[in-house]
Amino acid sequence: MADALHSIDPQHTALLVMDYQVQIVDALSDADALLSRTADAIATVRRLGGRIGYVRVAFEDSDYAAIPSTNKMAARVAAMGETLHSESPATAVHAQVAPEAGDIVVRKTRVGAFSTTNLDEQLRGRGINSLILAGISTSGVVLSTVRDAADRDYQVLVLSDACADREPDVHAFLTGKIFPRQADVITTTQLEELLSPRDSASE
């Protein structure tokens, strides 16, 4: 692991768990393994003093009409209808990785985590300057959030094994070739070392 990663302070770090919703998770073939790794990552970040944030996509009645027909997302949202409604059980965060009291929770109506939420304000208010990303899908919310978070000057890390995409080759391309331009790509097994205090005596 690069030396720069050792300096991350968990008190100024948040793990964002993005679009881990019942309907989205259940559509994956390897959901159980993914949920297990992500649950372990959440537990590690909590234990070491980091924050956990949740981002979910869901619509109120007025939100459906607010998407212009020129947006390609409009047709997909319309086709899914009530299953994307904010009160639908399908849009709830999966129970295996569910929020706890005090966690950041935002609801979005577009792909990225920031554009239709007050996530940035909530993170800044808690002194967060480093983000660790877990999300479904890699080519959707993760890609959009990597780019936006980097432009907002957060230090960005992506948990490659806590992200998933229906197209494995797309996941591999993004995590291997695209994300490293703006983020550090790591695995869940590296979190313990990443967020633990460095022993200056061993340097």
Task: Specify the pLDDT at position 2.
Answer: 44
Banded model confidence at residue 78, pLDDT cuts 50, 70, 90: confident
Tell which wins on pLDDT, 148 or 83. Answer: 148
Q: What is the pTM of this model?
A: 0.92
Strands 184-186 and 155-164: what pairing? Answer: parallel
Summarised one tens digit per residue, pLDDT across range 2-19 is 445 556 999 999 999 999
Bond preceding residue 200 cis, omega within 30 of 0:
no
Of 58-72, 112-126, 150-164, 166-180, which gets the smallest average pLDDT? 58-72
List of domains in the chain: 3-193 (3.40.50.850)
Mean pLDDT on 27-46: 96
Banded model confidence at residue 193, pLDDT cuts 50, 70, 90: very high
Helix-then-strand count for the chain, H and E: 9, 6
CA 106 to chain centre: 11
Q: How many Cβ atoms are within 10 Å of 203's Cβ, its own excluded?
A: 7
